[in-house]
Each structure stands twice: as C-alpha cells, then as structure tokens.
Amino acid sequence: MQGKIVDKPCNVKIYKIIPNDLQECPFVVLICVGIHNYPPPPPKRTPNNIKDNLQIMIKEAIENDDVVTFGSIIQGNMLKAYFNKETLQEIHISLNNIDRLRYLVAKTYKNLYPFGQHILGVFQSVYSKQFDLHNYVHKIDFFGDELVLVICILEKQAQLLQHLECFQINLSFKHVKGDINEFEINSYNDYHNLNLYNVKSSEGYYRLFITLFDVIKQLTGKPIQVKHQEIL
C-alpha cells in the first residue's frame, strides 16, 4: 500500500527584509506573523536528570555484565526496572533517536575502561588497582615474539593447587573475545583459571608453566612438586 502526502498549508506569513548593502549592514530581518496550525517539532535535547539516570543504569549494567550493548538494554527489562517504562520514547521523546542511547553506552564504557578492555586495559586496571584485579591477575609478561602471557589465579586457588593429585587442561571454553587463547586448569571440585594470549608454539607453553609455577610459589611460599618418571 502506497502512502499519500497530505497537503496541510499553514496560514503563517514570513517576511524577510534584506538591506540593499549587506556589507554596510550585514543583517537580515525575519518577521513571522500568525499562529502555526501544526505542532512544534519534538525536543532534541534530553533533560539532564533523565540523562544522568540513564548513565547510572548503564554503568550498573556494565559492572554486572561488561558485554552490555544498547540493544540488550532496549530488549531487556532495565528500562522497566529503572523508569517503569517499556520503551525509550516513553521516557522522553528525544530518545526516539537510538543514537543517543548508543552514545551514552559508549561514553560509559569509555569512563569505566579508558584504556579499553583488551590487554592494554587489563594492564592499566591491574597496575592502577582498579576493579580489584590485582588480587587475581598476578603476572603480565610481554615477549619479543608477540606473545603476551597473563596469569590469573587467586591465592586460595594457588593453595588448593598445591594439594591436588592431578588436574586437567581445558582449551575448549573461553571467557574472553578476540584473538586470545584461554588455558584453563580444572580439578574435580574447583576451577583454577589462567589466561594465555596468542600461544602458537611449544615455547609459549613452556613459558606458561614456568610463569605459573613461579606465581604459585610466590603466593604460597612453596614450589610446585610434580611427580614424574624418567624413561630410559
């Protein structure tokens, strides 16, 4: 079905007065006479109190789940919980432009993670002791062959690892996005996690275990002892 354009003329008259010499008098006068018979355009600016409440909502959402997007906010129940509204347009007509919410989400991410969420962001968060990551991320090593090694383990996990009779290695599950390999150590009762970035060689795995065992020794005061058998 094709729509039709409805011609709705307005009786308001606009007069424009232009001086003969614009260089001598660089001004133009517009005179509007009458009353418009159509509603004014919707407001473009979002009131500050609504904008502040939106940013608080977005910040709390990101802190609970740092993969939040403007789409998940619209589709979820956060608007209902914070504003008792179903849609952004019901909160304020200016939010009819979805780019405003997209901008607020990006701004909140930038404020929370000024260095991003990749390796540079992890490095900055650990050494500035932000988000309490320094108690979990104990080692970040950069190697010349573009290998970046990040060891993540809690002190309690290191203590438990000392007493395990065996453990398994899981390479199939990832908590992280992008070109990052996660190397996860599992036991029958707990998860002991460490992240390994861009491992592509046996040398990388060697560095992984050397660094991991060194971190465990620092946390527990005891070296890792591994049973092994030499085969001649």
Domain boundary assignment for the chain = 48-112, 130-220
30 confidence band (pLDDT: 50, 70, 90) = very high
Query: By percentage, how much of the chain surpasses pLDDT 70?
Result: 74
d(CA 73, CA 57): 9
What tokens appear for 180 in the block? 């990052």
pTM: 0.52
The label of the residue with tokens 């232009």 reads 18
Nearest to 94 by CA among 31, 32, 131, 46: 46
Tell me the average pLDDT across 184-194.
Answer: 54
26 confidence band (pLDDT: 50, 70, 90) = very high
More confident residue, 20 or 186: 20
Query: By percentage, how much of the chain surpasses pLDDT 90?
Result: 9
